[in-house]
Amino acid sequence: MDLALISDTHIPSRATAVPEPFRERIEAADHVIHAGDFDSEGALSNVRAMAARLTAVGGNMDPRIGLPDVATVELGDVTFVVTHGTGSHRGYEDRVGGIVREEAGPDAVGVSGHTHEVLDTTHGGVRLLNPGSATGASPADRATMMTATVGDGDLSVRLHEL
């Protein structure tokens, strides 16, 4: 199963659209995970239209658009816990890792956003992924996203940047 991992699109406040090369990856994915900060109902609608299937959470810059703060989804025998990661940069990995452990245990993978900084690390025994900002919204210095392949409990992640 092929996944697209995106976050922090911030449309329209900091960007006008998801870049075309990323749109193509999102449309080709079997499942899309968005870790919040769509920025508008229109941006959420656009991502929903691109995605075959979507798991998404709200971020600190999202209006009330009906998204949960945390979502858990199992794909290819891998459990993903999605949260925006809202709060200070200080303690970010502890905060997100704690949410993942609380929601699904230490074997789950956390997908978060908020910092606009790419992250693929293991913290406290939990793998944490942050795809950065799919539009390069400030304070990011470039547009980034991740794709992943999952199956039989295996996870392979690739970073894409523009």
Global pTM value: 0.97
Mean pLDDT, residues 8-17 taken together:
96
**pLDDT, tens digit (0-9, with 9 covering 90-100), for 94-132:** 999 999 999 999 999 999 999 999 999 999 999 999 999
Return d(Cα 42, Cα 6) in angstroms, integer: 16
**pLDDT, tens digit (0-9, with 9 covering 90-100), for 20-62:** 999 999 999 999 999 999 999 999 999 999 999 999 999 999 9
**pLDDT, tens digit (0-9, with 9 covering 90-100), for 121-162:** 999 999 999 999 999 999 999 999 999 999 999 999 999 999
| Domains, the chain | 2-161 (3.60.21.10)
> Which residues fall within 8 angstroms of residue 33, CB to CB, at 6 or more apart?
3, 4, 5, 6, 54, 55, 56, 73, 80, 82, 111
The answer to whether residue 63 scores a pLDDT higher than 90 is no
Burial (CB < 10 A; 0-12, 13-18, 19+), residue 114, is buried
